[in-house]
Structure 1
Amino acid sequence: MVIDERSATAAPATGLRERKKRRTRNALLRAALLLFLSQGYERTTVDEITDAVHVSQRTFFRYFANKEEVVFALQELVESRFVAELHARPAAEGPFEAMRGAALAAWDSVEVALSEVVPVDLYMRSYRLIESTPALLAVHLRRSTELEERISRLIGAREGLDVDADPRPRVAVAAFCGVMRVTGRLWGRGEDTSVESIRGLTETYLDRIGPALTSSWRGPA
């Protein structure tokens, strides 16, 4: 048997390069978030971020288009997990059941993914940063609207519906995403920064949507 030495060494070399890139990106992300939190998003410069990691501006822009993209990198990670889980839900599940299951499954797996990049506590603090910075909050609301539309179209495709003709997917997703925003804000203001905490809040609040919309509130919750 003939062994191609170039093939044998190419894979390990590629793996090392990818790990180095991932370490550099994660270091830039951590440094940027810590600077944003300590001195403010708008007062922090790209030069300060790169100086903290000892890399060039060119390296920063190889991984991030701008500071805004850094801030929302963790939100993008969490959202992508949710969308992937929603794609994987059984076809027999109804729309709300599928979204609920996807949200809880995403929280079950996202802690490991987050901790490979930043401490989970830093993710929670970055959520507070977004909520307290007007420029970032405006971007967050725009991104939320875009995500809602993406999920609505996914739900419409699952149900075989045209979302532009049938309002139900968008209505269901609006209710679901509203609850997710509420739980995120409550979690961000709380003392318990664990993923278990936000998962528990998510489950509790999602399970209250039906009764909140269809039942009388004049009685025990």
Structure 2
Amino acid sequence: MGLRAGLRAGPPEGLRERKKQLTREALVRASLELFIAQGYERTTVDEIAEAVEVSQRTFFRYFAGKEEVALASQSRIEAHVKTLMRARPPEERPFEAMRNAVLAGWDSLGEAIGESVPVSLHMRSYLLIESTPALIAAHLRRSMELEEEMAALIAEREGLDASDPRPRLAVAAFSGVMKVAGRLWSQGDDLSVRALRDLMVASLDSFGPAMAADWRSPAP
């Protein structure tokens, strides 16, 4: 009686969760591959579901639509960086903590995005976002939300009141440097993780001296 009841109950909870995770990652990978191959606007949810051999209904169990699945790997990176930021030592200053958290995130990129999405595919998703107006708007909106969350983390770390503008200023400056580095990377020939990481490091290293320099004098 107990055995039959167990069989009727289906696989253990752990196996069900593992299957759900694999399905989710397969949908993300298929979506990015299709978006990059034939364009975001020309790709349908039905095509994504068909590529993974699931129903459209199953797709919508995991994602609200194409926009959410297109930005899914980005969301995992953002969550990963926030976790790393919370773990930074309290003696690090805000800029230093953000720098170390972001660089640690790039160093553990494969771990953050999951097993089924290759790092090279994730990197191409940045170019997909930049070339797709609908995704640019969504990405900018999410970036603003992330900046608010990071500012709140810094305020908490530094023991500051939420009305203090300094955490938001620090995050805005840091995010600006990251955006410039990302834009330079997307315009170059080397689209590897290492190339983007190196550009971020160089941009962060030059930010302070560049802001303090006299720009009307000839550059050294």
Bigger shift: 181-190 or 95-104? 181-190
Corresponding position: 1:173 with 2:171: yes
CA distance in 1: counterparts of 2:115 and 2:181, whole angstroms: 24
Aligned to 1:138: 137
Runs of 4+ in 1 over 4 A off after TM superposition: none
> Aligned-pair distance for 1:13?
2.9
The amino acid across from 2:166 in the alignment is R
Q: Does 1:194 align with 2:189?
A: no
Give the letter for the 1:102 counterpart: A
Inter-partner Cα distance in structure 1 for 2:18 and 2:190: 32
* Amino acid paired to 1:29: V
Task: Work out the CA distance in 1 between the residues paired with 2:128 and 2:192.
Answer: 17
Q: CA deviation at 1:190?
A: 3.1
Displacement of 1:219: 4.8
Paired position in structure 2 for 1:74: 73
Q: Is the 8 A contact 2:185 2:195 kept in 1?
A: yes
Structure 1 counterpart of 2:25: 26
Q: Distance in 2 between matches of 1:27 and 1:206?
A: 35
Task: Kindly state the Cα deviation for residue 145 of structure 1 after the two structures are TM-superposed.
Answer: 0.9
Superposition RMSD on alpha carbons, in Å? 2.2
SS in 1 for 2:191: coil
How far has the Cα of 1:186 moved from its partner?
A: 2.5
How has the CA–CA distance of structure 1 residues 184 and 178 changed in structure 2, closer, same or farther, with 3 Å as cutoff? Answer: same
What does residue 108 of structure 2 align with?
109
Contact 2:123 2:193 in 1 (8 A): no
**1:124–1:188 contact (8 Å) kept in structure 2:** no
Contact persistence 2:28–2:73 (CA under 8 A): no
Deviation at 1:113, TM superposition (A): 3.0
User: One-letter code of the match for 1:106?
Assistant: G
Question: Equivalents in 2 of 1:24, 1:99: separation in Å?
Answer: 33
Contact kept? 1:120, 1:193, Cα under 8 Å: no
**How far did 1:22 drift?**
1.7
Displacement of 1:191 after TM fit? 3.1
- Aligned partner of residue 170 in structure 1, secondary structure: helix
- The 8 Å contact of residues 86 and 99 in structure 1, kept in 2 or not, is answered as yes
- Judged with a 3 Å threshold, the aligned counterparts in structure 2 of structure 1 residues 184 and 115 are, in CA distance, closer, same or farther, namely farther
1:220 to partner: Cα distance: 4.5
Letter in 2 for 1:191: D
Cα deviation for residue 208 of structure 1 reads 1.4
The TM-score, its normalising length taken from structure 2, stands at 0.89
Aligned-partner Cα distance in 2 for 1:105–1:149 = 21
In 2: Cα distance, 1:200 partner to 1:163 partner: 33
TM-score by length of 1: 0.88
Amino acid at match of 2:45: V
> How is 1:120-135 mapped onto 2 (pairs within 5 angstroms)?
120-135=119-134
What percent identity do the matched residue pairs reach? 61
1:210 aligns with 2:212: no
Do the aligned residues in 2 keep the contact of 1:50 with 1:57 (CA within 8 Å)? yes
- For residue 190 of structure 2, give the secondary structure of its aligned residue in structure 1: coil
Query: Who is 1:14 aligned against?
Result: 13
Mapped partners of 2:186, 2:77: distance in 1: 15
Deviation at 1:151, TM superposition (A): 0.7
CA contact (8 A) 1:187 1:193 kept: yes
Contact map agreement 2:109 2:119 (CA 8 A) in 1? no
Q: Distance in 2 between matches of 1:26 and 1:115?
A: 7
Residue 200 of structure 1 and its aligned partner are, at CA, apart by: 1.5
